[in-house]
Structure 1
Amino acid sequence: MRYFMPAPVHHQLGLVCLGVGLQHGALPTVGPRVLDHHVAVVVSAGSGWFEGADGVRRPVTAPALLWLTPGVPHHYGASRDAGWDESFVDFTGPAVAAYTELGYIDPDRPVVALTDTVTARAAIGRITRAAQPGNPLLEVETSAAVHELLVALRRARADTAGDTDPVLRALARDAFLPLSVAEHAARHGMTAAELRAVVRRAAGASPKDYLLGIRLGRAKELLVGTELSVAAVARRVGYDDPAYFNRLFTRRVGIAPGRFREQQGRAAPGGWSDAVPDPRHPPTIRPTPPAVT
């Protein structure tokens, strides 16, 4: 176990790591107790139990996540027979509110089933490696790893569809079609209210804002990477009225489409593509072979 004391300036990073621990076996029971900060307890092997503020004792079977939230009593322990394999990260910071609103942290679900703990343990491993005595980057490295941990835990939740939610994938596919939210919902056999609940839970936004983000993101790409007129860009992303698109873009982005193009525009040798490269084989500059003399 290692515990840290981040300075006030580090809290401006949004999240700070207060401690990290790795332990396994028939561990001592924790609590009952109340903390003043958040803790993510990742159980990667074994089983045990968890008791929250409601006094209900819930079974815990790996892989699983325990959310310990500030001000909420909790009490938990590993099985007396085989115990469990546990890693934990204590953290706090102003970004916790945003992660909670987006559903990455769910105080109402203290026990969360996971599909695996590989990526979460990797993030925790980065914290433990950063916690070497005398590391001048300790607070910043551990802060970055806490952000990474929350994303990894969100991806590993057993109640999600993995990396890509099928509803979000379908909305992204149809984002440029002239469909209302109700029409998008009907395509999925949902009411508009049901679609709003699904998208809010998966993406932390309303369907309208989720679709708008995709449209305007694509518009930015077309403005920067092509010579299409603003009116043509508007049509490509689903707006038949260029004046409305101009007003919407200006209000959401902060500058007009033409001005955005002037600021960000650049010519790409060999042309431009919106294809996402394979991270294992990123684009590279081929070295010029030496001249033969």
Structure 2
Amino acid sequence: MPPAHALRDSGLCCVGAGEQSGQLPAVRRRGLSQHALVLITSGSGRYVDAYGAREVSAPAWIWLTAGQWHEYGPGRDGWTEHWVLFDGIGTRAYRSHLPRARGGVQHLSQDSPLEVDPIFDALHEATSTAGRRGQLMAACLVHRLIGVVVGATAPVAEDQTVMDAVSASATENLTVPERAARAGLTLAQLRTHVRRSTGLTPHELVLSVRLSRAQHLLARTDLSISRIATDVGFDDPSYFTRLFVRRVGVAPSTFRVQQQRRTAGASDLGTSAGDVEP
């Protein structure tokens, strides 16, 4: 499906999608002009790139970065794969979630079923629809697919332990080396765990947790902005406000008005709906 240039420039476009299963021929030292996501839903095999070889066991996904050579294929018993080709500057937003900076394999959690068939059914319909409407729907579905597989990716247990520890102490005024020491890690180890799990630095993670908690308090309580700043770990309310504007896009006071209005509106709608006789 030839993508519209405007859609590619605006973020992300779908170039094609499909699925196949069985004892498929292996892909040998190939590079693509677009990015691709290959989802393995059954079976096992092997993946190779410039970083080395990896065994692949379903459920798993492989991110193929444009321009980078790779090889992959199923074992003797075959496998089932779904694939999608896509392009655009929107792919940059997903790079922090990749198993390696240039691509690789991620195994998915066995605990939650991965419902991708409806997405691929919709992708087939969208890519068969001529014009920009079909292209727009396909692009939206690619975003949804990537979100589903990233959300279902099995976390590394040690990474999650570190993440929990950093998040729990985020409101404390500690330096990054002090956070590493508290977790029993070197500074380099802390950075590796946090980057692998979130794509952020430890400092960025702390700020993200603090601002998330501040948003909750602004929306759900009547605490003053200076009190909220202190509660989430900022000694200087002015700095908190500047950071909030830079990261969230509006001042804390504006955010509070917007969220409380939204909550009140939802309550009013709920009351009205309950008053209507069936």
TM-score scaled by structure 2?
A: 0.79
Inter-partner Cα distance in structure 1 for 2:80 and 2:36? 16
Inter-partner Cα distance in structure 2 for 1:58 and 1:232? 50
Which residue of the partner structure matches residue 274 of structure 2? 287
> Does the CA contact (< 8 Å) of 2:65 and 2:102 recur in 1?
no
**From 217, 222, 226, the counterpart of 2:212:** 217
Which AA in structure 1 matches 2:44? S
More helix by share: 2
**Residue 42 in structure 1 maps to residue 42 in structure 2:** no
> Does the CA contact (< 8 Å) of 2:63 and 2:98 recur in 1?
no
Give the SS at the match of 1:22. Answer: strand
Instruction: Using the TM superposition, give the Cα deviation of residue 94 of structure 1 relative to its aligned residue in structure 2, in angstroms.
Output: 0.7
Which AA in structure 2 matches 1:115? S
> Does the CA contact (< 8 Å) of 1:104 and 1:151 recur in 2?
no
Instruction: Using the TM superposition, give the Cα deviation of residue 75 of structure 1 relative to its aligned residue in structure 2, in angstroms.
Output: 3.6
Instruction: Using the TM superposition, give the Cα deviation of residue 20 of structure 1 relative to its aligned residue in structure 2, in angstroms.
Output: 0.6
Which residue of the partner structure matches residue 114 of structure 2? 118
Inter-partner Cα distance in structure 2 for 1:161 and 1:121? 29
Inter-partner Cα distance in structure 2 for 1:35 and 1:124? 21
Q: 1:187 to 1:38 in 2, by over 3 A?
A: same
**Residue 103 in structure 1 maps to residue 97 in structure 2:** yes
Instruction: Using the TM superposition, give the Cα deviation of residue 260 of structure 1 relative to its aligned residue in structure 2, in angstroms.
Output: 4.8
Q: 1:27 to 1:284 in 2, by over 3 A?
A: farther
Instruction: Using the TM superposition, give the Cα deviation of residue 159 of structure 1 relative to its aligned residue in structure 2, in angstroms.
Output: 5.4
**From 124, 146, 149, the counterpart of 2:142:** 146
Give the SS at the match of 2:37. Answer: strand
Q: Which has the larger radius of gyration?
A: 1
Which residue of the partner structure matches residue 277 of structure 1? none
1:8-157 to structure 2, matched below 5 A, reads: 8-52=5-49, 59-79=55-75, 81-100=76-95, 102-104=96-98, 106=100, 108=102, 110-116=104-110, 118-134=114-130, 137-157=133-153
Which AA in structure 1 matches 2:221? T
Inter-partner Cα distance in structure 2 for 1:66 and 1:258? 44
Inter-partner Cα distance in structure 1 for 2:99 and 2:12? 13
- My pick for the range that moved more, 87-96 or 236-245, is 236-245
Which residue of the partner structure matches residue 233 of structure 1? 228
- For structure 1, list consecutive stretches of 5 or more residues without a partner in the other structure: 273-282
| Number of residue-to-residue matches in the alignment | 274
- For structure 2, list consecutive stretches of 5 or more residues without a partner in the other structure: none
- My pick for the range that moved more, 227-236 or 124-133, is 124-133
> Does the CA contact (< 8 Å) of 1:225 and 1:266 recur in 2?
no
> Does the CA contact (< 8 Å) of 1:64 and 1:111 recur in 2?
yes
Instruction: Using the TM superposition, give the Cα deviation of residue 86 of structure 1 relative to its aligned residue in structure 2, in angstroms.
Output: 1.4
RMSD of aligned C-alpha atoms? Answer: 3.6
Q: 1:225 to 1:35 in 2, by over 3 A?
A: same
Inter-partner Cα distance in structure 2 for 1:284 and 1:263? 19
> Does the CA contact (< 8 Å) of 2:47 and 2:54 recur in 1?
yes
**Residue 160 in structure 1 maps to residue 166 in structure 2:** no
Give the SS at the match of 2:223. Answer: coil
